[in-house]
Amino acid sequence: MYFPWLGHFELFRLADVYCHYDDVQLSRGFYNRVQVITNGVSELISVPLTKKKQRQLISQSLLQINDTWISKHRNKLRESLRKAPFFNCAIEIFNGVYNESHELLQNINRLSILKICDFLDLSRSTITSDSCGMHGNLSGSARLLAICKDLGADVYLTGHGGLNYLDHESFEKNGVEVHYIKYRFEQYEKLNSIYSPFVTSLDPIAYLGKEAKLTMQSEMIHWREALNNIDDLKAKATKRRS
């Protein structure tokens, strides 16, 4: 994930160990893009990649070698956040990722996540999926279960994508409970702009600084309850207490 939304960091707040799951096929999503709001309009900024090969893994995805797109992203963030009180904090995080050169998408994604974790004082106990044993013959739900067993985990916490493919009963038979995140946030005031929980985490950081962490109010929900109340899992925001 590229400077991901605040909901992604609920995994760090609620879990003991975070796994960078990069040795899987690159698909269309937010691995190389993120939402920003400019002049009241939500738009995507995307990291350009070299020509994608068939069944290419995230860990194999190469960045286009030029600085033009980095400058465009920086300028777009300035346009979006320059009036926010903690804008300098947000842009320093962005610049910190690009203080060194990168060739791989996974490197800027990991670093953008860890820089935000550092700023928000969130746990940084992380591993990479390719370091969790040899499970190349497994895929999908079975591979995730194997990684959990390697780590001695008794709970697997995930976002909502797993609702479509996880074999929940298999996890339970192996002593691992699956929990989903019930996304809840406190809405913060923005200057002449609209609020959305789905934008880059640099947005709440620009407006709240370290207090952005206080807007994170999500909960862990057991998979059975999640399946019975799927609509209740959707991200919701309440007005922030003053």
Residue 101 has pLDDT above 70, yes or no: yes
**106 in a structural domain:** yes
40/189 Cα distance (integer angstroms)? 13
Residue 139 lies in a domain: yes
Please check whether residue 140 lies inside any domain of the structure. Answer: yes
If one counts the domains in the chain, the total is 1
Per the domain annotation, does 113 fall within a domain? yes
Task: Give strand pairing partners of 63.
Answer: 49
Residue 109 domain boundaries:
6-239
pLDDT digits (tens, 9 = 90+) for 190-236: 877 889 999 999 999 999 999 999 999 999 999 999 999 888 888 88
Instruction: Please check whether residue 1 lies inside any domain of the structure.
Output: no
Task: Answer yes or no: is pLDDT of 77 > 80.
Answer: yes
**Residue 119 belongs to some domain of the structure:** yes
Give pLDDT tens digits for 109-151. Answer: 999 999 999 999 997 788 888 777 655 676 789 989 999 998 9
Work out the average pLDDT over 154-175: 94
pTM, to two decimals: 0.92
Q: Give the whole-number percent of the chain exceeding pLDDT 70.
A: 95
Whether the per-residue pLDDT at 68 is higher than 80: the answer is: yes
* pLDDT, the chain, mean: 90
- Is residue 165 in a domain? yes
> Of 9, 1, 2, nearest to 210 (Cα)?
9
Mean pLDDT across the stretch 14-25?
Answer: 86
CA atoms of 222 and 242, how far apart (whole Å):
32
- pLDDT band per the 50, 70, 90 thresholds, residue 241: low
Q: Determine, yes or no, domain membership for 18.
A: yes
